[in-house]
Amino acid sequence: MSYAPHITGWGVASALGVGRERLRSALLQGETGIAPVRRFETSPFKAHVGAMVAGYELDDRDPTALCHEFGSLALRDALEHARLDLGCLRSRRAALTLGATLFGDESTESVARDLAKKFSIDGPAITVCTACTSSTQAIGFGADLIREGLADLVLAGGIDVLTPKLFAGFDALGVLSERPCTPFGLQMGTTLGEGAGFLVIERGGLRDAVTYAVLRGYGLSGDAFHETSPDPRGRGVAAAIQGALDDAGASKAEIGYFNAHGTGTMANDTAEWCAVQSVFGSELGGALPISSSKGHLGHAQSAAGVLEMIATLECMGEGLAPTTAGFQGPRPGGPPRPVGTKKPRPLAYDLALSSNSAFGGNNCALVFGSAEPTSEDEERRPVFLSAAAALSNSVSSVEELALIYESESAPTDGELEIDLSSELPRVDLRGIDRASELLTAVTSRALGDAGVRLRGTVRERTGLIAGLLRGSTDSLERFHGSVDRRGLGAPDTTAFAQVLPSAAQGACAKALNIRGPQSTITIGEGSGLMAAVLSARMLARRRDSDQIVAAAVDVRADDVEGGALFDAACALVLCTTPTAVEVAGVGLAGPDQLDEAIAQAQSSWGSNERPELVIEPPKPFAGLPATSSCFALAHALGSLRRGSARTALVASKGTTASLAIILVSTEVNHDN
C-alpha cells in the first residue's frame, strides 16, 4: 500500500522575516532580505552583503545555538499553520527529516536529536548532509516515510547559519557578488544567506486537515564532474529533474512553473538552463515560467531548497508565479524570459518543479502541487545484496572481518594504509582527503566484487548513499589551519571544498564516474546501516537505478566527542538483479524503538520464521559510529554466502533511529 504525502503546513525563519505570514507579505511586495552583513566583520572580503535571518543580524552565538533557534522558530510556525500541537505529535507516529550541514567539526545529527526531543518526535530523525541540496533531499526522504507507511506525520526541512569561515570560503572561490545577487541577470555572483524552513507532511485522511499541496515525487543524481562546479552541460540536473517527473508520474507538459536553483553565478545558471532545455525541449522549455528565489532570500545553503519550495507554495496559493528579485535583463546562456517582474505575476498552475544543486555534484528536484497522483499501488521490486568490502585496522576483506567477529579480538594498532593509485591508476587522485580515499577504495572494491563495470548507461543507473558524521579530519585541520595562519581573507580553498560531510561522496562519485542517485546521511551511531536501509527502499520503489552502493566512513577523530577511534570504511552493493542473498525485510523506527524496527523487517519479510543468525555491530569496533553497523551487514552477507545460515537479522539502535534488515539466502530450498 502506498500513501500520498499531503502538505498540511509550513513554517520559516528567513531573511524576509520569521513566520510564514511575514514571508508571504514580503514576497507579494517584491521585497529582498539582502543587506550589508552586520553579524561579523567583512573587511577581509570582496563581498559585504548577505541575507541574515531578520531580527538576528547581530546575534553572534555559535552556529549550533543559532541552528536550534532558527529550527525551533520554523517548527513552531509550521505546527501552528498545520493546526497541530506537541500533544498531537506525542500521540502520532511522527518523524523528522532534516537537511543540515554544520560547517565545522561537530556532527550534525546532534541538531536533529535535540529538535526531535524538544518537539516530542519519537520516530526516526534522519539528517541529510549534502550542502545546498540537504533540505530538498530531506523533503523527498520524508515523503517516502509517508508513502511507505513508516510514519503518519513527518516534519521535513532544513537549517543553516552564515558564519565568517563559510563566508570566507565562498569569497575565496570568487563566486560572491558585491551587490545583491540577480539570478539569470547580467550581474554575476551569488549572495549567501541562512535560515530554516519546515514542511508538515501527513498521510491523508487520518485527521481533519487542510491539504495545501501533494508531494508528488523527487529525483536525485550526481554530476561526477568537479568539487565545486556543476557539469556545464547540465546532465546531472537534467537527470534529477527527469527522475522527479518519473517518480511523480507527471508529464513535462503538466509542469506549470519551475523554481530554479538560480544562484546567480554563470556556471550554475548556464548549466541549469541547459538542463531545462534538455528535459523540456526548446518549445516547452522556452515557454516554461522560471524564476529563482535567491534574489529575495539569498542562498540559504542547507535550507535553500525548503525555503524556495515554501516561497513557491505561498505564491501558488495566491495564483501567482514567484519573481526573480532584481532582474533587469537576461545574460547569455540563461533563460531569455524568466519571471522578472517587480512583484509575482498572475499564473494558474497545478504542478510546480523545484531544483537544487550542491558542491560535489549533488542534484535534487521536487514535483509538487494540487494535482493528486493516481491511486494505483506501486509495484515493488525485489532487492538483493550482491557484494561488500570492508577496511580498517586488521581488516582488508569480509573474510578478515569474519575472523574479528569469531574471536572478538580488538583491532591492531597502527596506520591503515591504502595504495589507491595502484588500484585506480587512471584516476586523478590529487588533493583527495582521507575520507574520500577510504570511501573510494571500498566502493571500488565492492563494485568490482559485484561485477559492476561503470561504463555507458550503467554510470547513470548506479547510485551512492554514504553514511558519515562529519567532514574528514585532515581537511578540517587544513582549512582551519589556513585561516589561523593567513586570516579569513586567504583560506585554503581546496580544503574548504572538502570540509563538508558530503565531500567524500562527491569525490568518490567523481573518481569512479557514478552518476545515479546520491546522498550523504547521518543518524550518528548506525549511519552505515541507515544508508543500506535507504538504498534498499529506493531500489524497491523507484526505477531510476539498478544498483546503489550503501557505504560508511569513519576517519579518526578521537579528540572529538563521539569521534571515531580509528579509520574505517565499508561498502555494500544493493541491486535489483537476482543474486545469492535477498534483502527480504527492512525496518526503520525511532531511536528507542528497536523492537518496532525488527517487527517491521519481520512483517515485510512476510514469514513467521525467526532468522537463524542475529548479528549486531561488532564489539571490537564500538569506536566506529558510522561504520560498525555496516560491518555487521557485510558479515551477515559473508555468513550467508559461506552457507553458515540461510537467514540473518542485522539490527542496530542508532543515535536518532533504530534499524533492522533481514537477509535470506536464495540458494537453498526454504521449504525444507
CB-based contact 291:340 (threshold 8 Å): yes
Same domain (yes/no): 276, 155: yes
Q: What is the pLDDT of residue 268?
A: 94
Q: Is 379 part of a structural domain of the chain?
A: no
Is the confidence at residue 103, as pLDDT, over 70?
no
Q: What is the pLDDT of residue 670?
A: 42
Domain boundary among 369, 401, 417: 369
Per-residue pLDDT tens for 136-155? 999 999 999 999 999 999 99
Confidence of residue 671 (pLDDT cuts 50, 70, 90): very low
Same domain (yes/no): 341, 396: no
Domain residue limits at 463: 384-665
Q: What is the pLDDT of residue 668?
A: 55
Q: What is the pLDDT of residue 1?
A: 66
Domain boundary among 369, 397, 421: 369
The alpha-carbon radius of gyration of the chain (Å, integer) is 23
Domain boundary among 369, 398, 421: 369
Q: What is the pLDDT of residue 372?
A: 80
For residues 505-530, average pLDDT:
96
Confidence of residue 297 (pLDDT cuts 50, 70, 90): very high
Same domain (yes/no): 402, 294: no
Same domain (yes/no): 413, 474: yes
Q: How many folded domains does the chain comprise?
A: 2
Same domain (yes/no): 264, 412: no
CB-based contact 220:140 (threshold 8 Å): yes
Per-residue pLDDT tens for 406-460? 887 777 767 788 999 999 998 988 889 999 999 999 999 999 999 999 999 999 9
Confidence of residue 597 (pLDDT cuts 50, 70, 90): very high
Report the first-to-last Cα separation within the chain, whole angstroms. Answer: 31
Same domain (yes/no): 75, 195: yes
The helix-helix angle for 304-317 and 134-147 (nearest 10°) equals 70
Q: Which residue has the higher pLDDT, 564 or 514?
A: 514
For residues 494-520, average pLDDT:
95
For the whole prediction, is pTM greater than 0.75? yes
Same domain (yes/no): 165, 294: yes
Same domain (yes/no): 23, 135: yes
CATH code: domain of residue 338: 3.40.47.10
CB-based contact 534:518 (threshold 8 Å): no
Q: What is the pLDDT of residue 265?
A: 94
Residues written for the chain:
672
Q: Is 284 part of a structural domain of the chain?
A: yes
Q: Is 548 part of a structural domain of the chain?
A: yes
Q: What is the pLDDT of residue 376?
A: 60
Same domain (yes/no): 340, 424: no
With b meaning 16 or more CB within 10 Å and e meaning fewer, what string describes 263-290? Answer: bbbbbbbbbbbbbbbbbbeeeebeebbb
Per-residue pLDDT tens for 529-580? 999 999 999 999 999 999 999 999 999 987 777 788 889 999 999 999 999 9
Same domain (yes/no): 349, 441: no
Is the confidence at residue 86, as pLDDT, over 90?
no
For residues 75-99, average pLDDT:
92
Per-residue pLDDT tens for 325-369? 999 899 988 999 999 999 999 999 999 999 999 988 899 999 999
Confidence of residue 672 (pLDDT cuts 50, 70, 90): very low
Confidence of residue 375 (pLDDT cuts 50, 70, 90): low
Q: What is the pLDDT of residue 406?
A: 84
Q: What number of other Cβ atoms are within 10 A of residue 407's Cβ?
A: 9
Is the confidence at residue 585, as pLDDT, over 50?
yes
Please give the mean pLDDT across all residues of the chain: 93
Q: Is 672 part of a structural domain of the chain?
A: no
Q: What is the pLDDT of residue 480?
A: 93
Is the confidence at residue 669, as pLDDT, over 60?
no
Residue type at position 559: D
Residue 338, classed as helix, strand or coil, is coil
Q: Is 511 part of a structural domain of the chain?
A: yes
Q: Is 39 part of a structural domain of the chain?
A: yes
Q: Phi and psi (nearest 5°) for 147?
A: -55, -40
Q: Is 344 part of a structural domain of the chain?
A: yes
For residues 116-120, average pLDDT:
95
Is the confidence at residue 37, as pLDDT, over 90?
yes
For residues 84-106, average pLDDT:
84
Same domain (yes/no): 337, 407: no
Same domain (yes/no): 534, 648: yes
Going 363 to 368 to 374 to 380, the CA torsion angle's sign is: positive
Q: 196 is written with which cell numbers?
A: 530554516
Q: What is the pLDDT of residue 560?
A: 76
Q: Is 376 part of a structural domain of the chain?
A: no
Q: What separation in angstroms does the CA of 265 have from each of 86, 283, 475?
A: 42, 25, 26
Strands (E), 506-657: 518-522, 547-554, 568-575, 581-589, 613-615, 647-653
